[in-house]
Amino acid sequence: MKIAIASDDQYKISPHLGRTKGFVIVDIEKGKVRGRTYRKNNFSVHRKGLRDNDPEPGRHVPILAELKDCRVLISHGMGRRLINDLNVSGIETFLTTEELVTKALKLFIEGKLDNNPELGCIHD
């Protein structure tokens, strides 16, 4: 199973998924890390320079396509519309208070990673 963790520097978890510089992609098999890569984010609405309230239909299609091989996405925050779109696409979201990628990964593998849906933001 692959999981994506939003991170600007591959060490700390990004505060907002749409603005993150990239994603640490981790391949987990039987509770062990089998691989780790980094994907630059040149596909999300924010990274393309669009505003939160742009009425762009299908605005999350690029991020859903880029992360379609992942089953889980971990971040500090993201818009509620994106959370819904990810969940509908079969990608479980975790909005965590954990700051470090490695610690969040360890806690996720152990089944102990906190998930705080209230950290999701609403864009007007």
Q: Does 2-119 carry CATH code 3.40.50.2300?
A: no
pLDDT in the model for residue 47: 47
pLDDT in the model for residue 53: 52
Strands of the 32-40 sheet, one edge to the other: 32-40, 22-29, 2-6, 72-75, 92-95
For residue 35, the one-letter residue type is G
pTM of the full structure: 0.85
Residue with tokens 């933001």: 121
Q: Is 73 helix (H, G, I), strand (E, B) or coil?
A: strand
**Domain assignments of the chain as residue spans, ordered by start:** 2-119
Burial class (CB in 10 A: 0-12, 13-18, 19+), 19: middle
What does the pLDDT average to over 21-37?
96
Q: Is 23 helix (H, G, I), strand (E, B) or coil?
A: strand
Residue 62 has pLDDT above 60, yes or no: yes
Residue 9 has pLDDT above 60, yes or no: yes
Q: Is 74 helix (H, G, I), strand (E, B) or coil?
A: strand
